[in-house]
Amino acid sequence: EDGHALWLRYAEARPLDMEDTGIGLGEVTAPGATPTQRAARDELRRGLAGLLGSAPRFREGPGGAGGLVLGTPDSSPWIAPMRRELDGLGEEGFLLRETRVDGRKTLLVAARRDIGVLYGVFHLLRLMQTGVELDGLEVREVPQVKLRVLDHWDNLDGYVERGYAGRSLWDWHTLPDWRDPRYTDYARANASLGINGSVLNNVNAEALSLSHAYLRKAAALADVFRPYGIRVYLGARFSAPIELGGLATADPLDPGVQRWWRDKADEIYALIPDFGGFLVKANSEGQPGPQDYARTHAEGANLLADALAAHGGVVMWRAFVYAPDVAEDRARQAYDEFAGLDGALRDNVLVQVKNGPIDFQPREPFHPLFGAMPRTPLMMEFQVTKEYLGFATHLVYLGPLYEEALRSDTHAQGAGSTVAKVVDGSLDGHALSGIAGVANIGDDRTWSGSHFDQANWYAFGRLAWNPRQSARDIAADWVAMTFSPDPGVVAPIVDMMMGSREAAVDYMTPLGLHHLMARGHHYGPGPWVDGGPRADWTSVYYHRADARGIGFDRSTRGSDAVSQYAPEVARTFDDIEQVPEALLLWFHHVPWDHPMRSGRPLWDEMVHRYTRGVRYVDAMQATWETLRGRIDGPRHAHVAAFLAIQRAEAQWWRDASVAYFQSINGLPLPAGELPPPHPLAYYEALQFPHAPGDGR
Ligand code: BDP
């Protein structure tokens, strides 16, 4: 066990004997004419062989019934009578149903299209792995979000920006001729979750990705992914017409530039007929964009959208922007630049918005653009790779972070206007909808840099399919499939996972603090970070600690970022008595002696939380120790070693933060709290020249 099989180990039969159901699961009637049909059969063969101990027998044509019957109305005479019902499940939905065919108990895996059948097979295998009763089964599943996409921040040289799982999975050098079997396994894993798109290259894109030679490489990946329902997208560099095309400008209103993008789109679609479209980071962190020509983001996005429209492609235009000159409050910037563009974007443009207004911090309020652009499909961008959450070594389950963001209420159309409803398009009636996760995948044997980081890929995919699912239920499925369905294993691990994100918030940035990590590589604490090229790349800009208090005043008396939210939300955030304590220092500059709900003054509460975070890691270590012998040795040891790293680093975060803030406020530690073992200067002097992940 080295983790490479992910949650698709198919290693343990569920406690219940399969044959108890009376469905002869060893008999499968399934078409095998198309690549997707064969993928479904292969997965079933693999899964049932693992779970039942022997491979099933496959039949293609009619003549037999009973057992499992897979297909679409077009591919299977057994499913054909269900055409009308299946039409209601759309292009990707599926149905699992126990029924009787010729008097024999039969389980149908039926869908309108082959891809739905494949999704249904993965769903069925999941039910078997997690011990769900198959008797009387009736499941109808339709994805709630249309584009469910992984964004790879992979550079063409193999380096993954903010990647902690080794090098890029894509071996651009041997593509297109060599198609590594891992590409297929990647596609299988994604299809098992319903992920249906993959942006192959970094948002800090090289124009070279759009050259003919690299398009042929991308086309080879698209060929591998296609049977699994995954479309390929590319990060597009806005200035590519200059760099690749030799034009003098990339101005979106220039007819030559427009022609260049149209020709490029034609070239791409000739190689990749189902190409998904472009992801664009423009006028942000030094990337080129339409503002270089005094044009708006809308004019830039529409340029690419027009080029792709004839082929059915989309543009995912990112709202993660900042101005060349430092704004008074960076949290305001995306809203200020984008909210006014609502209605000005083509139908095939989605604006891709990070979950919070700064940058994937351990905790942020939801981004104020959600709910503020009703005429535009807004795509959620989550980070699966843990740039700000301890890289790959910290056990931090992101399900609760995603859930918190999706369940946030924008109040855009009254109470209940959740971010999930904005993202899935239901609030404003958009057929086009999307959700993206910045991938944590690399060539590490575990794929994600650690065993538990696989859970974040998994949770992202499951929530992309249905943003209303519970992070806890998803974790339970993942543990059962990844480690063991034994409730004595599932329950303690799920509990440990569920509190792990809050623990990281506690030991890194409690009470709404944010952006206090070390400069550049972002590894470890750096609340003292000051100076350098931009104030909004420092920590002091965000925490604003002084002798009197701490926190960024974004209230109506401060930067007024609160007013970017709907009035009900703004009122709550604006009021120091009503704002959730978890976001207190995000929105307010608060005196050190401010009384908290616990009865402690703010400073004591901060220290309490730092220490509580460290204690939680102690508890995770203790829990993990009790599982020794119930988890295979290699994976148990790997996790235990990483927990030890996390324990030391949580302590480091706590001590460095306490030492730094104490140097500002001069306050004593609350009774019972241990002083940091080193002076502040020690923490400030630590250097990590080869810390991973900083690609810029
Ligand atoms: C930040 C990362 C940087 C990315 C940027 C982005 O530090 O590497 O390029 O986000 O999302 O979090 O564009």
Q: What are the pLDDT digits (tens) for 446-459?
A: 999 999 999 999 99
Give residue 324's pLDDT.
77
Written out in words, the top-level CATH class of the domain with range 506-552+589-685 is alpha beta
**pLDDT, average across residues 402-407:** 98
Query: Residue 424 pLDDT more than 60?
Result: yes
Choose one of 201, 203, 388, 391 to mutate for the ligand 1 pocket test, by most ligand atoms within 8 angstroms of C-beta: 203
Domain 18-141 = CATH 3.30.950.10 = no
350 within 8 A of 317, measured Cβ to Cβ? yes
Percent of the chain with pLDDT over 90: 92
211 lines ligand 1 (CB under 6 A): no
250 within 8 A of 241, measured Cβ to Cβ? yes
464 within 8 A of 472, measured Cβ to Cβ? no
Task: List C-alpha distances in Å: 504 to 54, 118, 580, 582, 616.
Answer: 44, 37, 18, 13, 9
Rg (the chain; Cα; Å): 26
**pLDDT, average across residues 158-167:** 97
d(CA 478, CA 490): 9
Instruction: List the structure tokens of 323.
Output: 């101005």
**pLDDT, average across residues 674-693:** 95
162 lines ligand 1 (CB under 6 A): yes
523 lines ligand 1 (CB under 6 A): no
501 within 8 A of 396, measured Cβ to Cβ? yes
Give residue 20's pLDDT.
54
Query: Residue 251 pLDDT more than 70?
Result: yes
Q: What are the pLDDT digits (tens) for 278-290?
A: 999 999 999 999 9
360 lines ligand 1 (CB under 6 A): yes
d(CA 218, CA 211): 10
Burial class (CB in 10 A: 0-12, 13-18, 19+), 472: middle
Choose one of 159, 162, 384 to mutate for the ligand 1 pocket test, by most ligand atoms within 8 angstroms of C-beta: 162
d(CA 234, CA 16): 45
358 lines ligand 1 (CB under 6 A): no
Task: List C-alpha distances in Å: 129 to 188, 285, 450, 483.
Answer: 17, 45, 22, 11
Contact partners, residue 615, CB within 8 Å, separation at least 6: none
Q: Is the peptide bond before 176 cis (omega within 30 degrees of 0)?
A: yes
Q: What are the pLDDT digits (tens) for 467-501?
A: 999 999 999 999 999 999 999 999 999 999 999 99
Give residue 26's pLDDT.
84
Give residue 75's pLDDT.
96
Give residue 62's pLDDT.
57
Q: Which residues pair with 154 in a beta bridge?
A: 160
Q: How large is the angle between the packed helices 35-52 and 181-193, nearest 10 degrees?
A: 80
HSE toward the beta carbon, residue 93, CA cutoff 13 A: 16
- Closest residue CA from atom 1 of ligand 1: 359
Give residue 23's pLDDT.
77
Distance, C-alpha 675 to centroid of its chain: 37
What is the distance in A from the centroid of ligand 1 to the CA of 383? 10
The architecture that CATH gives domain 147-482 is Alpha-Beta Barrel (3.20)
Q: What are the pLDDT digits (tens) for 550-605?
A: 999 999 999 999 999 999 999 999 999 999 999 999 999 999 999 999 999 999 99
Query: Residue 323 pLDDT more than 80?
Result: no
350 within 8 A of 342, measured Cβ to Cβ? no
d(CA 413, CA 387): 34
Give residue 16's pLDDT.
45
**pLDDT, average across residues 47-70:** 83
Q: How many CB atoms lie within 10 A of CB 148?
A: 27
Q: What are the pLDDT digits (tens) for 577-591?
A: 999 999 999 999 999
Which residue type, as a one-letter code, is found at position 334? A
Query: Residue 347 pLDDT more than 60?
Result: yes
359 lines ligand 1 (CB under 6 A): yes
Give residue 480's pLDDT.
97
What is the distance in A from the centroid of ligand 1 to the CA of 694? 9
Choose one of 359, 515, 542 to mutate for the ligand 1 pocket test, by most ligand atoms within 8 angstroms of C-beta: 359
Q: What are phi and psi of 432, to 5 degrees?
A: -90, 130
- The b/e string for 443-467 (b: 16+ C-beta within 10 A; e otherwise) is bbebbbbbbbbbbbbbbbbbbbbbb
550 within 8 A of 540, measured Cβ to Cβ? no
Query: Residue 695 pLDDT more than 70?
Result: no
* Longest CA–CA separation in the chain, Å: 83
Provide the phi-psi class of 581: left if phi over 0, else alpha when psi is between -120 and 50, else beta: alpha
> Which atom of ligand 1 is the closest one to the Cα of 388?
12
51 within 8 A of 57, measured Cβ to Cβ? no
Instruction: List the structure tokens of 385.
Output: 């790779």
Give the DSSP H or E segment for 98: strand 94-101
User: What residues does each domain of the chain span?
Assistant: 18-141, 147-482, 506-552+589-685
- Closest residue CA from atom 2 of ligand 1: 162
Least trusted range by pLDDT, from 21-25, 143-147, 403-407, 671-675: 21-25
> Which atom of ligand 1 is the closest one to the Cα of 438?
11
Q: How confident is the model at residue 12 (pLDDT cuts 50, 70, 90)?
A: low
Q: What are the pLDDT digits (tens) for 215-237?
A: 999 999 999 999 999 999 999 99
d(CA 514, CA 360): 10
Least trusted range by pLDDT, from 3-7, 63-67, 240-244, 381-385: 63-67
The mean of the pLDDT values for the chain is: 96
Listed as own residue / partner, the contacts of 305-310 with beta carbons closer than 8 Å and 24 or more positions apart are 305/345, 305/346, 305/347, 305/348, 305/349, 306/258, 306/261, 306/262, 306/346, 307/258, 307/261, 307/262, 307/264, 307/265, 308/265, 308/277, 308/278, 308/348, 309/346, 309/348, 310/265
SS3 184: helix
The reply to whether the predicted model has a pTM over 0.80 is yes
**pLDDT, average across residues 108-128:** 98
Query: Residue 22 pLDDT more than 80?
Result: no
Give residue 15's pLDDT.
43
Length of the chain as a residue count: 696
Percent of the chain with pLDDT over 70: 98
d(CA 132, CA 277): 38
Catalytically active residues are 285, 359, 387
